[in-house]
């Protein structure tokens, strides 16, 4: 396999999934701390209270990275560790932790790639302003971003504003299976809209105040699976295209074209908010690279009848895009029940390349979960090796065919807290029988309030 000489090789994590130390040294609570306490939300009641204890083992972890030969490491900052209330008072101990991590990485020749938001919103902002439903939060995010640029920007040269806005919107505000646990078919579009605006504002700030001096790059990471038409029928091909637009173009079109995809406008009507002309201008071109998290592929067909009760039939996702999704029974599955389909990765890279005029793409996450067994203190992870080989071969082919792919980060650097699946090995988040869980749209806000009082 041939990769360009300056290709970035790294691995990724996120704050809530690895840090632990949830109330140490002045960290404020996040919506994930609260969400984990709601009975039934996280498998077996697991929490990120301790997780990989990275907060205390940071130096050991960086030594492991060095030993693995990583040249780049993508991590996220816990907003409530540096602004315990989301805004206002700064927690210098939190700043110190990230500052030391960055120094440690650089001392080991590992390039830090920093995500500002990987889902762990300060709980105070959820309670006080309704999280991403309130447009004013976009300015609070910018203040947080500014502090990060000021304190870390002398050493951090790669910034990612948001990780997977789709997940926040759909799983957090549509299906309610991730924090803040809201169930709605309008809120996902509003939350997503505000995330895009917050992204654009933070990029504008970086570009006007910091980029010239700090000489870094800034972008956003979106997630997308590949959608392969189930049959050659035109309606299935259209369904697959529509599914990709509802998934990835939802967040990428505003940045590359200044507007949402037409199929979303047509189908969503007033539920899809509109950008002002100023926001449109701010969004256009607001990324220095195309961050992509890619895990799997599904077969898409025109929805003649929605799979009622399946997770894809809930929360305004399937209903709005009118696509049925299925798996080819011949595909191998990971423990997350995600199909291993390396060629899907190459097709997606081409789709992005064609639609957005050949951007510089960085795969900021790709990987697999397997039920690893320890044998004499080691893991014989043949399946994982095969997975990476398969996906990287397709990446190499895509590059050969002209796709401008410039980096690859494996998910994850460590086994960690997998959100609603907790630490389980056999619990794919998309296969939870969500209907057995408590579904009370407004209850979570009240629950958060009670939690804070404790
Ligand atoms: C992504 C997410 C990561 C991790 C991964 C699967 O959607 O960004 O935090 O959960 O999926 O392991």
Atom of ligand 1 nearest to the CA of 17: 9
Mean pLDDT on 253-272: 96
Query: Is residue 172 in some structural domain?
Result: yes
- Pull the structure tokens for residue 399: 């590059």
- Pull the structure tokens for residue 71: 């040249």
Chain segment 307-336, per-residue pLDDT in tens: 444 444 433 465 788 888 889 999 999 988
User: Rounded to two decimals, what is the model's pTM?
Assistant: 0.94
CA-wise closest residue to 177 among 424, 442, 429: 429
- Higher-pLDDT residue of 376 and 90 is 90
Mean pLDDT on 441-449: 50
Q: Is the pLDDT of residue 163 over 50?
A: yes
- 3-class DSSP state of 351: helix
Q: Tell me, what's the pLDDT at 319? A: 72
Mean pLDDT on 390-413: 98
Atom of ligand 1 nearest to the CA of 223: 7
Q: Tell me, what's the pLDDT at 377? A: 84
Atom of ligand 1 nearest to the CA of 419: 10
- The CATH number linked to 89 is 3.20.20.80
Residue entry with tokens 């305004």: 316
Query: Is residue 18 in some structural domain?
Result: yes
Q: Tell me, what's the pLDDT at 451? A: 58
Determine which one of 245, 365, 394, 418 is catalytic: 365
Q: Is the pLDDT of residue 75 over 60?
A: yes
Q: Is the pLDDT of residue 305 over 70?
A: no
Is 418 close to ligand 1, i.e. is its CB under 6 Å away? yes
- Higher-pLDDT residue of 431 and 117 is 117
Query: Is residue 192 in some structural domain?
Result: yes
Query: Is residue 3 in some structural domain?
Result: no
Q: Tell me, what's the pLDDT at 378? A: 85
Mean pLDDT on 356-363: 98
Query: Is residue 2 in some structural domain?
Result: no
Phi, psi of 365 (to 5 degrees): -155, 135
Rg of the chain taking only CA atoms, in angstroms: 21
Q: Tell me, what's the pLDDT at 123? A: 95
pLDDT band at 216 (very low <50, low <70, confident <90, very high): very high
Residue 164 annotated among the catalytic residues of the structure: yes
- Pull the structure tokens for residue 124: 């105070």
Q: Tell me, what's the pLDDT at 429? A: 42
Determine which one of 19, 104, 111, 164 is catalytic: 164
How many alpha carbons fall within 13 Å on the CB side of residue 345?
30
Q: How far apart are CA 109 and CA 72, in angstroms?
A: 8
Q: What is residue 42's DSSP assignment?
A: S
Residue ranges of alpha helices (H) inside 277-333 are 277-283, 317-321
Q: Tell me, what's the pLDDT at 313? A: 42
Q: Tell me, what's the pLDDT at 118? A: 98
Closest residue to atom 10 of ligand 1, CA basis: 418
> What percentage of the chain exceeds 90 in pLDDT?
80
> What percentage of the chain exceeds 70 in pLDDT?
90
Residue 150 annotated among the catalytic residues of the structure: no
Q: Residue 402 CB: number of other CB atoms within 10 A?
A: 9
Q: Is the pLDDT of residue 445 over 90?
A: no
> How many structural domains compose the chain?
1
Is 115 close to ligand 1, i.e. is its CB under 6 Å away? no
Q: What is residue 76's DSSP assignment?
A: E
Least confident of 126-130, 147-151, 194-198, 342-346: 126-130
Mean pLDDT on 244-272: 97
Query: Is residue 376 in some structural domain?
Result: yes
418 CA from centroid of ligand 1 (Å): 7
Q: Tell me, what's the pLDDT at 303? A: 83
Q: Tell me, what's the pLDDT at 306? A: 52
Q: Tell me, what's the pLDDT at 439? A: 38
Is 75 close to ligand 1, i.e. is its CB under 6 Å away? no
| DSSP secondary structure, 226-245, as one string | EEEESSS-HHHHHHHHHHHI
pLDDT band at 452 (very low <50, low <70, confident <90, very high): low
Query: Is residue 126 in some structural domain?
Result: yes
- Higher-pLDDT residue of 2 and 454 is 2
Query: Is residue 1 in some structural domain?
Result: no
Can you say whether residue 270 is alpha, beta or left, with left for phi > 0 and alpha for psi between -120 and 50 degrees? alpha
Determine the distance from the C-alpha atom of residue 410 to the mean position of all C-alpha atoms in its chain, rounded to a whole number: 13
Q: How far apart are CA 89 and CA 99, in angstroms?
A: 18
Is 335 close to ligand 1, i.e. is its CB under 6 Å away? no
Q: Is the pLDDT of residue 26 over 50?
A: yes
Q: How far apart are CA 187 and CA 180, in angstroms?
A: 12
Q: How far apart are CA 333 and CA 343, in angstroms?
A: 15
Q: Tell me, what's the pLDDT at 161? A: 99
Q: Is the pLDDT of residue 152 over 70?
A: yes
Q: Tell me, what's the pLDDT at 427? A: 45
Q: Is the pLDDT of residue 276 over 90?
A: yes
- Pull the structure tokens for residue 450: 């009670």
| Domain range enclosing 65 | 8-453
Q: Tell me, what's the pLDDT at 443? A: 45
Q: Tell me, what's the pLDDT at 325? A: 87
Q: Tell me, what's the pLDDT at 332? A: 96
Strands 72-76 and 290-293: unpaired
Q: Tell me, what's the pLDDT at 440? A: 41
Beta strands in 164-283 (DSSP E): 217-223, 226-229
Chain segment 2-19, per-residue pLDDT in tens: 999 999 999 999 999 999
Q: What is residue 30's DSSP assignment?
A: B
Mean pLDDT on 259-286: 97
Q: Is the pLDDT of residue 432 over 60?
A: no
Q: Tell me, what's the pLDDT at 442? A: 43
């Amino acid at each position: 396999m041939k990769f360009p000489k300056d290709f970035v090789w790294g691995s990724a994590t996120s704050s809530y999934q690895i840090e632990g130390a949830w109330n140490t040294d002045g960290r404020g609570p996040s919506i994930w701390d609260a969400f984990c306490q709601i009975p039934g939300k996280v498998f077996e009641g697991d929490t990120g209270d301790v997780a990989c204890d990275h907060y205390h083992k940071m130096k050991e972890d960086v030594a492991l990275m060095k030993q693995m030969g990583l040249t780049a490491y993508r991590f996220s900052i816990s907003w409530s560790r540096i602004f315990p209330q989301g805004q206002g008072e700064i927690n210098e101990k939190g700043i110190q932790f990230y500052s030391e991590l960055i120094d440690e990485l650089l001392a080991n020749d590992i390039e830090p790639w920093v995500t500002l938001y990987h889902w762990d919103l300060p709980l105070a902002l959820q309670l006080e302003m309704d999280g991403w439903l309130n447009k004013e939060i976009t300015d609070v995010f910018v203040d947080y971003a500014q502090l990060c640029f000021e304190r870390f920007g002398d050493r951090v040269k790669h910034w990612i504003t948001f990780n997977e806005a789709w997940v926040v919107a759909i799983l957090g505000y549509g299906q309610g299976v991730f924090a803040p646990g809201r169930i709605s078919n309008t809120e996902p579009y509003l939350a997503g809209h505000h995330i895009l605006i917050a992204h654009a504002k933070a990029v504008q700030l970086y570009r006007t105040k910091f980029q010239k001096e700090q000489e870094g790059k800034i972008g956003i990471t979106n997630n997308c699976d590949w959608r392969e038409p189930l049959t050659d029928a035109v309606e299935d091909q259209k369904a697959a295209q529509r599914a990709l637009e509802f998934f990835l173009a939802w967040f990428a079109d505003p940045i590359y074209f200044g507007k949402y995809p037409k199929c979303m406008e047509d189908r969503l009507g007033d539920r899809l908010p509109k950008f002002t002309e100023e926001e449109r201008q701010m969004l256009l071109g607001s990324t220095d690279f195309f961050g992509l998290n890619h895990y799997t592929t599904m077969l898409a067909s025109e929805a003649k009848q929605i799979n009622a009760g399946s997770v894809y039939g809930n929360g305004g996702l399937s209903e709005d895009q009118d696509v049925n999704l299925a798996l080819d029974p011949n595909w191998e599955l990971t423990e997350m029940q995600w199909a291993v389909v390396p060629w899907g990765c190459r097709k997606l890279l081409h789709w992005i390349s064609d639609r957005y005029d050949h951007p510089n793409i960085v795969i900021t996450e790709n990987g697999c979960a397997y039920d690893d067994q320890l044998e004499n203190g080691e893991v014989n992870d043949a399946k994982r090796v095969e997975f990476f080989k398969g996906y990287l071969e397709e990446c190499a082919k895509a590059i050969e065919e002209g796709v401008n792919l410039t980096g690859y980060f494996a998910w994850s650097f460590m086994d960690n807290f997998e959100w609603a699946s907790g630490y389980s090995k056999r619990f794919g988040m998309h296969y939870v029988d969500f209907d057995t869980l408590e579904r009370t749209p407004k209850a979570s806000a009240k629950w958060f309030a009670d939690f804070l009082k404790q």
